[in-house]
């Protein structure tokens, strides 16, 4: 039993000590993870598990969208991306469509990888 508690404590500490940029990166990774779980669940015909994990990904995208600071012009671009991803997640959930989920994962990976690069560049400049 010590292992699960230690793992939970580690994860909690990771979240509590993360910068806002790192938390955003964790959210992207979480959404990707939930989409991947949903893909496997659909392939195994476990529609309940697929639904649950697609909804988790939807909630992450919704959170990312609601926390945008619209005073920055780039926020509108992210809002458009998140709006599109939200519509596609709903479609994937209704149809239980692996191809749509794979498309969503591709977009999320692209945004996550861009975010990682921005974090790296900011760290090199001493901004983070």
List pLDDT tens digits, range 86-108. 999 999 999 999 999 999 999 99
Q: Number of helices and strands (H, E) in the chain?
A: 5, 0
Contact 31, 57 (CB under 8 A): yes
119 vs 9, residue with greater confidence: 119
Query: In angstroms, rounded to a whole number, what is the distance separating the alpha carbons of residues 25 and 28?
Result: 5
- Domains present along the chain, CATH in parentheses: 19-125 (1.20.120.340)
- Confidence class of residue 17 from pLDDT cuts 50, 70 and 90? confident
Quick: pLDDT tens for 34-83.
999 999 999 999 999 999 999 999 999 999 999 999 999 999 999 999 99
């Amino acid at each position: 039993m010590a292992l699960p508690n230690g793992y939970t404590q580690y994860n909690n500490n990771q979240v509590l000590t993360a910068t806002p940029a790192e938390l955003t990166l964790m959210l992207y990774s979480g959404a990707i993870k939930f989409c991947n779980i949903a893909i496997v669940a659909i392939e195994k015909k476990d529609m309940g598990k697929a639904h649950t994990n697609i909804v988790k990904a939807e909630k992450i995208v919704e959170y990312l969208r609601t926390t945008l600071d619209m005073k920055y012009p780039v926020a509108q671009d992210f809002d458009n991306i998140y709006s599109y991803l939200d519509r596609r997640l709903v479609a994937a959930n209704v149809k239980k469509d692996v191809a749509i989920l794979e498309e969503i994962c591709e977009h999320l990976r692209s945004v996550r990888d861009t975010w990682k690069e921005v974090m790296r560049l900011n760290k090199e400049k001493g901004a983070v």
